[in-house]
Amino acid sequence: MNQPRTRLILPLALLFAILAVSTASIFIKFAQEDAPSLMIAALRLTLASLVLAPIVLTRHRAELRGLTRTDLMLGLLSGLFLSIHFATWITSLEYTTIASSVVLVSTGPLWVALLAPIFLREPLTRPVLIGMALALVGGIVIGMSDSCTWNNGLSCPSLDQVLQGRALFGNFLALTGAVTVAGYLMIGRKLRVKISLMPYIFLVYSTAAICLLAFMLMVRESPFGYIPMTYLWILLLALIPQLIGHSTYNWALAHLPAAFVAITTLGEPIGSAILAYLILQETPTAATLTGGALILMGIYLASRNAK
């Protein structure tokens, strides 16, 4: 694809990716009525890999065989990072508040910003830093809206409440999810400039699927015995947020800095809020709308300088 056409398509593709990934929370919420979170994550990646397998193994087998040892190891590491991201973030919701989990996992772009100049030698410009700061603040506002209330003044949980017992472990899991998704995005940026999309996502998704299945078996969860609708929700998870959403992000990594792609992932809470309103009749709060506006402003500022 030529450069002018790619630059024209990129904004629309990223918007499409945000909308696709935003459906994940809806599908997960429905699936969690019958199935544990880790099983949902494992089947999500397994089904996505099975859909890709016939295409990649028939049309891209030569490229897979031609991967260097270094590229193969990096691809496997990216898949491991993705599996840890899903496993830790989803599990964190069992130990800490949604607000704390969302705030901590939303620091992923910050970790990319800190590490990309070291590992990818991608300098951070002032507009990208400002955009990232606005987007992160927006993510924090949305996250804290779940646990803070306004009753004759703003009331939020104390630091002691956030850091005590089970909550401390859950917060650690959510932060681990943020760091590992940063690793996943940075490796994608490094490999996608020389590996085409289909072989790359097949390698990463299938590695993540194997790791998640192992995690699932370690905690003695089974992929069998659930109602048909649960499997339908997980299939939709595999097809829409994973194969369409995540794959579009991975496509964009061949053309945009990892830090900018990471910032756009913060658009997911906005899309999720819109879908929750349309499907679940959950009216967004003023804090959600404010945070969403800050995220959009941040993405806009960063995108004006992304190359």
**What pLDDT, in 10s, does the model give residues 31-54?**
888 999 899 999 999 999 999 999
Mean pLDDT of the chain, nearest integer: 83
Given a cut of 80, whether residue 295 has pLDDT beyond it is no
Give me the pLDDT at residue 296, please.
75
Q: Which amino acid is at 107?
A: T
Mean pLDDT within 164-193:
83
Given a cut of 80, whether residue 192 has pLDDT beyond it is yes
**What pLDDT, in 10s, does the model give residues 240-294?**
999 999 999 999 999 888 878 888 887 776 777 777 778 777 677 777 678 778 8
Which range is most confident: 65-74, 94-103, 285-294? 65-74
Given a cut of 60, whether residue 12 has pLDDT beyond it is yes
Give me the pLDDT at residue 165, please.
53
Q: How far apart are CA 76 and CA 249, in angstroms?
A: 18
Mean pLDDT within 100-115:
74
Give me the pLDDT at residue 187, please.
93
Given a cut of 80, whether residue 149 has pLDDT beyond it is no
Give me the pLDDT at residue 108, please.
80
Given a cut of 80, whether residue 27 has pLDDT beyond it is yes
Given a cut of 80, whether residue 84 has pLDDT beyond it is yes
Mean pLDDT within 71-98:
87
> CA 179 from chain center: how many Å?
11
Given a cut of 70, whether residue 297 has pLDDT beyond it is yes
Question: Residue 62: is it exposed, middle or buried by C-beta count within 10 angstroms (0-12/13-18/19+)?
Answer: exposed
Which range is most confident: 24-38, 190-204, 292-306? 190-204
Q: 138: which 2 tokens? A: 């927006």
> What radius of gyration, in Å, describes the C-alpha atoms of the chain?
19
Percent of the chain residues past pLDDT 90, beyond the cut: 40
Percent of the chain residues past pLDDT 70, beyond the cut: 83
Give me the pLDDT at residue 161, please.
55
Dihedral over alpha carbons 22, 27, 33, 37 (to 10 degrees)? -70
18-27, 55-64, 211-220: segment of lowest average pLDDT:
18-27
Q: Which amino acid is at 193?
A: V
Give me the pLDDT at residue 163, please.
53
Which range is most confident: 1-10, 23-32, 217-226, 291-300? 217-226
Q: How far apart are CA 103 and CA 98, in angstroms?
A: 8
Give me the pLDDT at residue 248, please.
95
Q: How far apart are CA 174 and CA 268, in angstroms?
A: 16
List, in order, residues 6 or more apart from 133 with CB less than 8 Å away: 298
- pTM, rounded to two decimals: 0.81
